[in-house]
Amino acid sequence: MTMLKLNIKDETSHLKAVVLGTANSSGETPKIEDTYDPKSKLHIKNGTYPKNEDMVEEMEAVADVLKKYEVEVYRPETIKDYNQIFTRDIGFVIDDKFVKANILPDRAQEIEAIHEVLEQIDPRKIVELPEHCHIEGGDVMPHKDYIFVGTYRGEDYSSYITARTNPVAVEALQAEFPNRKVKSFNLRKDNEDPKNNALHLDCCFQPIGDDKAIIHRNGFLDEEEYKWLVDYFGADHVFEISKEEMYDMTSNVFSIRPDVVISDAHFKRLNDWLRLHNITVEEVNYREIAKQEGLLRCSTLPLIRI
C-alpha cells in the first residue's frame, strides 16, 4: 500500500489530497433535542431542514470542482442514516501529523468511516490527544509560524453544546507542536441563537490567499483578540462580514490554491472582493448544507498541500 505523506502548513497552499464528506445516507430529519447547533434547530422548527438528495447534489458539485483541479478526493464509507458531511470536525493535519479530534460522543463513528485513509498514514504520525481535551478541526488553522485555535474559556463551558474546543486542548496542541506558536481565540457561544454563535473559528474567520483574511468581529468575545488578527493581516487585507453574513457562513469558503477559492454563489459581496484581488472563485450552491451551520471548509479535511 502506498503511504500518504501528509503535509499541511497552512489553509491556502496548493491542495493535492482531501477527504470530502458524504451526504449519501444522512437519515431522517433529527428531533430538536438531538441537534448539535442552533441553526439546525431553527430549520427543524421551521420545517426547512435540508433533504438528503439536495445535499448530495451540493456535495457532488464540490467534488467536481476538486477533480477539475486534479485534487485526489477521498470519501468516507457510508454509514446508514448517519450525518457524515462535516469531515473537518473529525480530524485535522498539521505539518505531517494527523490529529484525531475528540468530538461529541454521538459522532464517534465518523472517524471509523475514513479507516482506509488512516491505514495509509504512518501510525507514528497519528496523534490522539487525551480524552479530556475536546477539539474539533473547524477550530484549528495552521498559518505560517502559528496555529490559530478557536476555544471557549468560560467556566460554563460544559453548558454549551456549541463549545467544541476547550483550553486544555489548546495547551495539548502547543505541547504536540512546540515549533509553532499556538494562538487561541475566545469565541462567542449561544445554544439557541445562530446569529450570535461562532460554532468554530472558521465560522467567523479564515485566512485567504497569501496574506488576506475574512473576519466577523462579533464572533470574538475578546475585542483585543479580534484586533490582534486585524493588525496581523492588516486592515486593508481583511474582509469584514456582518452578523447576517456570518449566519450565512460567509467565512466558511475553501481554498484549493492561494489564487483559487470554492465559494457559495450566494456570497456575492465576498466573491466580488476575491475577484478584485485576483482570486479565481469557483461558485457552487451550498444553501441546503448551510442550514446545519457548516459549509465548504467544514465538509473538507485536507491531507496534502504543496
Instruction: State yes or no: pLDDT of 280 exceeds 80.
Output: yes
The amino acid present at 161, given as its one-letter code, is: I
**pLDDT of the residue at 50:** 81
Residue type, 38: P
pLDDT of 181:
98
Question: How far, in Å, are 54, 150, 175, 190 from residue 134 at the CA level?
Answer: 32, 12, 15, 18
Question: Which pLDDT score, from 0 to 100, does residue 94 have?
Answer: 98
Q: What pLDDT does 39 receive?
A: 83
Give 90-131 pLDDT, tens digit per residue: 999 999 999 999 877 777 789 999 999 999 999 999 999 999
| Residue 8, pLDDT above cutoff 90 | yes
pLDDT in tens, 34-79: 776 778 788 888 888 888 899 999 999 999 999 999 999 999 999 9
Predicted pLDDT of residue 187? 98
Mean pLDDT of 161-176: 95
pLDDT at 241: 98
How does residue 223 score in pLDDT terms, banded at 50, 70 and 90? Answer: very high
Q: Percentage of the chain surpassing pLDDT 90?
A: 81
Question: According to the model, what pLDDT value does residue 293 have?
Answer: 79
Confidence at residue 108, expressed as pLDDT on a 0 to 100 scale: 78
* Class of CATH domain 15-305: alpha beta
> Which of 86, 98, 201 is closest to 141 using CA atoms?
201
Q: How sure is the predictor about 26, in pLDDT bands with cuts at 50, 70 and 90?
A: confident
Q: What is the pLDDT of residue 214?
A: 98
Residue-level length of the chain = 306
Residue 252 has pLDDT above 80, yes or no: yes
pLDDT score of 210 more than 90: yes
pLDDT at 194: 85
Confidence of residue 221 (pLDDT cuts 50, 70, 90): very high
Please tell me the number of Cα atoms within 13 Å of 44 on its side-chain side: 17
In 2-143 the beta strands, taken as DSSP E runs, fall at 15-20, 72-74, 91-94, 97-100, 126-128, 140-143
**pLDDT confidence of residue 69:** 98
Element (H, E) at 53: helix 52-68
Looking at every residue in the chain, the average pLDDT score rounds to 94
